[in-house]
Amino acid sequence: MASYEKRTWWRGHRMTERLTNEGFLEAAVTAAFLIAAADGSASDVEYDALLNRLELLGGVDRDKIDELLTAVAKDVEEAGFEPRIARLGDLITDKEAAEATLMLALAVALADDDVSTEEREVATQLAAGLGVPDLDLDRLLSVLRT
């Protein structure tokens, strides 16, 4: 899977390069966590999918991933999804980076081979928070499934 992703959507969205940017990394982890938690809890399968993509494909240190996930989880527990979704707009300022952020989040959502209604709703909220409410989620999911 890793080499396939490097040749396709991962490379097309310059994910390895983007993940060296602290703001993009925070946005990517935030979006992935929020979509994974959309149904009430993030599963081990989704967590493993995020680690696989960030650590193995993106070269991100596991401690950094855990640090960001802990911060996001704490914020969500205290204040809900909305403040974190709003923060995405501060972290990501262009459409291509917004799409890349959503691609990673949707890849995590697909880790269990299903994108639930709740995950779709959160993905729509994420797109709006990223400033791209017109982004075609079905098209992105199709790219990830091929």
> For residue range 8-44, what is the model confidence (pLDDT) as tens digits?
778 888 888 999 999 999 999 999 999 989 977 667 8
For residue 105, which of 60, 59, 20, 42 has the smallest C-alpha distance? 42
Q: Is it the case that residue 3 has pLDDT exceeding 60?
A: no
Mean pLDDT in residue range 58-84? 92
Range with the poorest average pLDDT among 4-8, 40-44, 140-144: 4-8
Q: Is it the case that residue 146 has pLDDT exceeding 70?
A: yes
CATH of domain 2-145: 1.10.3680.10
* Tokens linked to 133: 């409410």
CA distance 105 to 109: 6
Task: List the Cα angle 44/89/85 in 5-degree steps.
Answer: 40
pLDDT of residue 2: 47
Percent of the chain residues past pLDDT 90, beyond the cut: 54
CA distance 123 to 7: 25
pLDDT of residue 49: 83
> For residue range 89-112, what is the model confidence (pLDDT) as tens digits?
999 999 999 999 999 999 988 888
What residue segments make up the domains of the chain, in order of their start? Answer: 2-145
Percent of the chain residues past pLDDT 70, beyond the cut: 94
Q: Is the pTM of this model over 0.85?
A: yes
